Amino acid sequence: MGIITLITDFGRQDEYVGLMKGVMLGIDPAARIIDLTHAIDPQDVAQAAFTVESAWRYFPEGTIHAVTVDPGVGTERAMLCLEFQRQVFLAPDNGVLSLLLDAEPRAALRRLDNSDYWRCAVSRTFHGRDVLAPVAAHLSRGVEASALGPAIDPARAVRIDDLKARLQANGELRGRIVHMDRFGNLITNIDAGALRSRGSSWEVAIGSGRIRGLSGTYAEAESGALLALIGSRGYLEIAVNSGRAMDFLSARRGDAVRVRPLPDKTGTRL
Amino acid sequence: MGIITLITDFGRQDEYVGLMKGVMLGIDPAARIIDLTHAIDPQDVAQAAFTVESAWRYFPEGTIHAVTVDPGVGTERAMLCLEFQRQVFLAPDNGVLSLLLDAEPRAALRRLDNSDYWRCAVSRTFHGRDVLAPVAAHLSRGVEASALGPAIDPARAVRIDDLKARLQANGELRGRIVHMDRFGNLITNIDAGALRSRGSSWEVAIGSGRIRGLSGTYAEAESGALLALIGSRGYLEIAVNSGRAMDFLSARRGDAVRVRPLPDKTGTRL
Amino acid sequence: MGIITLITDFGRQDEYVGLMKGVMLGIDPAARIIDLTHAIDPQDVAQAAFTVESAWRYFPEGTIHAVTVDPGVGTERAMLCLEFQRQVFLAPDNGVLSLLLDAEPRAALRRLDNSDYWRCAVSRTFHGRDVLAPVAAHLSRGVEASALGPAIDPARAVRIDDLKARLQANGELRGRIVHMDRFGNLITNIDAGALRSRGSSWEVAIGSGRIRGLSGTYAEAESGALLALIGSRGYLEIAVNSGRAMDFLSARRGDAVRVRPLPDKTGTRL
C-alpha cells in the first residue's frame, strides 16, 4: 500500500483536493492519501518549500509527496519528479524543492514528460488533478520513476535563494519568520544546526522583543512570557507560554529575526 | 474496496463528519472515505447541486456519493438513492440531485425506506449519521441498491429550477456567480458547452467589468488583469492573474454575469 | 485493520496532524485514521473532554482514540491509556478523560511509560507526534495495552470538576454553553438523561431568551424562531430554525443556561 501526501494552496472549502483523490483512487485503489496541508498561502512557493522539508522525515520509505503550489499552471514550466532519501517528490519546477536539492545536489531528478501517466484530457488550469495526481498514483502502484520522463541535471532546476538564514560577518544569524502556526508561534528559517554550531548561549531579537537563552518547552517560561526554543520543525521558534507570540509581538510573516551569540552562558531571560 | 465521498454543510470544526465516518467503518471497515467538501454554505442546496455535478466524473465506477445538505432533517422529506453513470448518489429529496436528474431524466431512483440499513436509533436531527452513512457503507459492502427501498419516478423528485444559465432571446447568456473559490476566482453557472455551441468570441460582463475573449490559463493575462476562462469545473470562470477577482470586482455569490457573442473574433481584452 | 481517531487543538492549516499520520502509517500501514476534530480551542481541555465523550459511541469496538490537547507538553505530566467500553483512549493526564472516568470509575487505566513504543527521538514540544501517534499505531497493530506501561488507580488521574450541569436545590438545572457549532447552535452541558429524569416539561432560559418545551427537530419551530431540543450529542441544544442561535442571542461559550421544570405540560413556545 503506497502512501501519497498532499501539500497544496487549494484550501479545503472547495472540492479541488477531493478531485485529486478521486483520480488517484481510480488508478490505485489501495493508495493511502494523507493531507499534509492545503493552507499554503495562494501561490507561496517558499512557504511550501519549508513545509516539504519539515514533513518528509516523518514518513516511511517509499512515500510519495505531491506538491501542488503552481502559479505557472498551464505555462511551459516543467513538472518534476525528485528521488530523495528513498522518498519521491512530485512538484512543478518553481523552486518548491529547493531545500531538498540544496541538501542533496546530485539527487535523481526527472521531468514528467510521459503523458501516458497523465489523465487523458489535461485541463490547462489544474495540473494537480490531471498530471500530479495520476502520476503519484501510478508510482504508488509500482511504476518506476524512470518511466515518467527523462533525467535532468538538478543544477538546472529552478531554485529559490536565501530560504534559510545566513551567518553575517559580525557573527549574527539573520533570519525571518516563515510561518505562524495555529498557536501563534513564530517559526523562523534559522535551523537548529546553524544555531548549535555557533555556540550555546544566544540572544534572540525580534521587533522590540529580546529573549536570552533557549527554553526546552513552552511551559518552561512563566505564563504569558516570551520564549525561544527549537520547535518541532527543527527551526528556532518564538512563542509565549499560554499565549500567542504573534499577537504579543504584532508579528507578521517575513519579519526579521536576529540571533547573536552571548559571551557568557547566562541562559536567563531578560 | 468501495469509495464513499462526502459533501456536507457541516464544516470541519465539529465532530459531525468524523461520526459519519465512524458509523461507516463500523459497517464496512474497508471503505475508502473521501471528503469532497464540508464547506457548503449552511443549507445551500443549490451550491451542493453544482458541487456534486462537478465532482462525480473524477471518481471511478461504483463510487458512492453521500450528500448531506438537509434543511428539512427530521421532517417527512424522503431520502433518495440515484444510480447515474455507474455511480450512486445518496441525498435528501430537496433538489440537490437536480443537475444529474436533468442530465439523465430516466435514471434509476429509489426512496431509502428500508430501515434495516439505518442505525438502530435514528435521531431526528442527524440523518447524515443515522441514515445516509450506514446506507452508504452497506452499499460499499455490496448490498444492492434495490434492497434499500422502492423505485420511484424521477419526475417526482424535487428539482431546483434555473440552476444553469439560459440563453436569452437577444442571444445573450445570462448566468450568475455560483461559487467563489479560495483563490477568489468567480465560478459561474454558464457551462462550456452552452458557450461553445454559440460561437467562439465573447464579451463577458460582470458589474462594471468587461472581458473580451477567453484565456486558456490564468497566467495568460497580464499580472493583475481580469480574465475569463473555462475553469476546471467546466464552467465559465472569472479570475485575475496573480490576484483575486472576488476582491477586484467586489463580487458576491449570486451576482449576474452576462455573455454576449461578438461579431468579430477580436479575442482581445479591453 | 485498526481504526485510530484524532482529536487535537492543532487546526488544519499546519502540517502537525499530517506528521502524526506519517508516524502512524510508518508503524501500521493498515491503520484507518479518522479526524474527529482539530478545532478544539487551543489548550481547552474541557472542550476536548466533551468531544471525546460525544464521539466514541459511534465507533466500532477496538477503536483507538488519540487526544492531543496538551498544554503541559514536555513537563512531568503523565500520558494515559484508558480502556473503556471495549475502546482505547490515549491522552495526557490533564482531565480530558474526566467524563469517561466518571462514567466508569474502575476502568483499566495505565501510564504510557514504556518508551519502546515511542519514536526514537522524542521532542519536548510535540508528544502527539512522538508518543501518542506511535503508541496508537502499535496498539492498532496488535500490541497489548498491558505492554505500554503500569496500571494506575483511576482515582488518581487528573479530573475536571463540574463539567456537566448540576441540579440545584430549587429543582433547576444550571448549565452552560460548552460548544457552538458551525450552524450557530448552542450545545450545553445539560444531558438528556438529567432532563428526562426530572419531568417532561421545561422552560429554558439563556440570557434574555426563554423557550418553553422541547422541539423534536429544527424545522419544527417557525422559521427564525428560537427552540430547544436534545441535539445529536445527547445534550440540550438551543437553536434557531433556519437561523443562528449564536447570533440571535449574542451568545458566547460559557454563557449560563438554566432549565426549570414547568408545573403544567404546556409544551408551547412563548
Closest listed residue to residue B188, CA positions, set B211, B164, B207:
B164
Class of domain A3-156 (CATH, top level): alpha beta
The mean pLDDT of chain B is 92
Closest listed residue to residue A73, CA positions, set B242, B179, B59, B192:
B242
> In sequence order, which ranges of chain B are alpha helices (DSSP H)?
16-27, 45-55, 98-103, 127, 133-141, 192-196, 245-248
pLDDT tens-place string over residues A83-92? 999 999 999 9
Query: What is the pLDDT at residue C121?
Result: 87
Query: What is the pLDDT at residue C217?
Result: 86
Query: What is the pLDDT at residue A265?
Result: 53
pLDDT tens-place string over residues A10-64? 999 999 999 999 999 999 999 999 999 999 999 999 999 999 999 999 999 999 9
**Res A109 pLDDT > 90:** yes
The mean pLDDT of chain C is 92
CB contact under 8 A, B71 and C231: no
Give the side-chain half-sphere CA count within 13 A for C249. 27
Residues of chain A contacting B217 with CB distance shorter than 8 Å:
73-75, 124-125
The mean pLDDT of chain A is 92
| Cβ proximity of C10 and C126 under 8 Å | no
CA distance B219 to B210: 18
CB contact under 8 A, A219 and C72: yes
Query: What is the pLDDT at residue B98?
Result: 97
CB contact under 8 A, A42 and B183: yes
CA distance A197 to A18: 44
CB contact under 8 A, A182 and C9: yes
State the pairing for strand pair A209-212/A202-206: antiparallel
Interface test with C, best of B8, B9, B15 (most C CBs within 10 A): B15
Where chain C has pLDDT below 50, the residues are 267-270
We find that the CATH architecture of domain A166-261 is Beta Barrel (2.40)
Query: What is the pLDDT at residue C269?
Result: 37
Q: Provide mean pLDDT across the span A57-73.
A: 95
CA distance A218 to B86: 54
Query: What is the pLDDT at residue B65?
Result: 98
| Joined grid coordinates for residue C19 | 506528521
Global model pTM greater than 0.95:
no
pLDDT tens-place string over residues C195-204? 877 777 889 9
The number of C-beta contacts closer than 8 angstroms across A and C is 88
Nearest CB to C219; choose among B22, B26, B75: B75
pLDDT tens-place string over residues B117-164? 999 988 888 999 999 999 999 999 999 999 999 999 999 999 998 899
SS3 (DSSP) at B172: coil
CA distance B159 to B95: 4
Q: Provide mean pLDDT across the span A169-183.
A: 92
Residue whose C-alpha cell reads 468570441 in the numeric block: B201
Q: Provide mean pLDDT across the span A173-195.
A: 93
CA distance C171 to C167: 6
pLDDT tens-place string over residues B230-265? 998 889 999 999 899 999 999 999 999 999 988 755
**Res B9 pLDDT > 70:** yes
CA distance B68 to B134: 13
Shortest distance between the Cα of A12 and any Cα of chain B, in A, equals 7
Give the side-chain half-sphere CA count within 13 A for B267. 6
Q: What percent of chain B has pLDDT over 70?
A: 97
CB contact under 8 A, C55 and B9: no
Residues of chain A contacting B63 with CB distance shorter than 8 Å:
22
CA distance B176 to C70: 47
User: How many angstroms separate the Cα of C186 from the Cα of each of A139, C93, C228?
Assistant: 47, 28, 9
Q: Provide mean pLDDT across the span A120-148.
A: 95
CB contact under 8 A, A18 and B36: yes
**Res A268 pLDDT > 60:** no
Residues of chain C contacting B125 with CB distance shorter than 8 Å:
217-218, 229, 231-232
Q: Which residue of C has its CA nearest to A39?
A: C13
Query: What is the pLDDT at residue C270?
Result: 33
Interface test with B, best of C33, C34, C44, C54 (most B CBs within 10 A): C34
Residues of chain C contacting B124 with CB distance shorter than 8 Å:
216-217, 229
Interface test with B, best of A4, A9, A10, A14 (most B CBs within 10 A): A14
State the pairing for strand pair A186-191/A202-206: unpaired
**Res B269 pLDDT > 70:** no
User: How many angstroms separate the Cα of B162 from the Cα of each of A75, B46, B49, B60?
Assistant: 36, 10, 12, 29
Query: What is the pLDDT at residue A60?
Result: 97
DSSP H/E element including C102: helix C98-103
Q: Which residue of B has its CA nearest to A127?
A: B232
Query: What is the pLDDT at residue A207?
Result: 92
**Res A246 pLDDT > 80:** yes
Chains that touch B (3 or more CB pairs under 8 A): A, C
Give the phi and the psi of residue C99 in degrees, each rounded to 5.
-70, -35
Q: What percent of chain B has pLDDT over 90?
A: 77
SS3 (DSSP) at A10: coil
CA distance B202 to B249: 19
CA angle C205, C211, C212 (to 5 degrees): 115
Query: What is the pLDDT at residue C170?
Result: 87
Query: What is the pLDDT at residue A267?
Result: 45
State the pairing for strand pair B3-8/B64-68: parallel
Query: What is the pLDDT at residue C265?
Result: 53
Question: What band does A106 get if pLDDT is binned at 50, 70 and 90?
Answer: very high
pLDDT tens-place string over residues A190-233? 998 888 777 778 899 999 899 998 898 888 888 999 999 999 88
**Residues 6 or more apart in contact with residue B65 via CB below 8 angstroms:** B4, B5, B7, B36, B52, B55, B56, B59, B87, B88, B89, B90
pLDDT tens-place string over residues B174-227? 999 999 999 999 999 999 888 877 777 889 999 989 999 889 888 888 899 999
Question: ipTM above 0.90?
Answer: yes
Domains of chain A, residue spans? 3-156, 166-261
CB contact under 8 A, B60 and A126: no
Query: What is the pLDDT at residue B265?
Result: 53
State the pairing for strand pair C235-240/A151-152: unpaired
**Residues 6 or more apart in contact with residue B267 via CB below 8 angstroms:** B201, B212, B213
Residue whose C-alpha cell reads 509527496 in the numeric block: A65
| Joined grid coordinates for residue C56 | 466514541
DSSP string across C188-240: EEEEHHHHHTT-S-EEEEETTEEEES-BSSGGGSPTT-EEEEE-TTSEEEEEE
